[in-house]
Amino acid sequence: MNVNVKWFRERFTWRSGLMATVALLALVLLLPALMTKETALEITLASERGSLPDGFYIYQRLDERGIRIKSITPARDSLIILLDSPEQALAAQHALEDLLPDNYSISRSRQYPRWHWLPYLHNGNAKVG
């Protein structure tokens, strides 16, 4: 019986150590990717009249100028354009100011951390108690 207990303790310690090492390694590898911020531009209407430009049109025009876009997302009364770097955002802002008429406002949006979508996964109705 003593041999079985000793074997179990050695094996459990080894597995626990391996699991802790894997979890720590995953944390070290994923944390920098989650903590970087995405650079965004926001296109809004300067006046109440009018409509937002087509996202595909924006994508094509910026792509022609060599500006790589991660995504274009419609928001409440705006388009949010996510870009790779602040330099790309500055180039895209200048390009959009040339392309779009004056009734559009193009501004730097706040920088979103990549994990900004995590709170949406929590379901408030699933509380126990």
- Domain spans of the chain, in order of start: 1-35, 36-113
* d(C-alpha 42, C-alpha 78), whole Å: 6
3-state helix, strand, coil in the chain (%, to 5): 50, 20, 30
Per-residue pLDDT at 22: 92
Consecutive 10-residue averages of pLDDT for the chain (129 residues):
67 77 87 71 84 90 92 87 88 92 82 52 50
Per-residue pLDDT at 58: 92
Domain 36-113 superfamily per CATH: ACT domain (3.30.70.260)
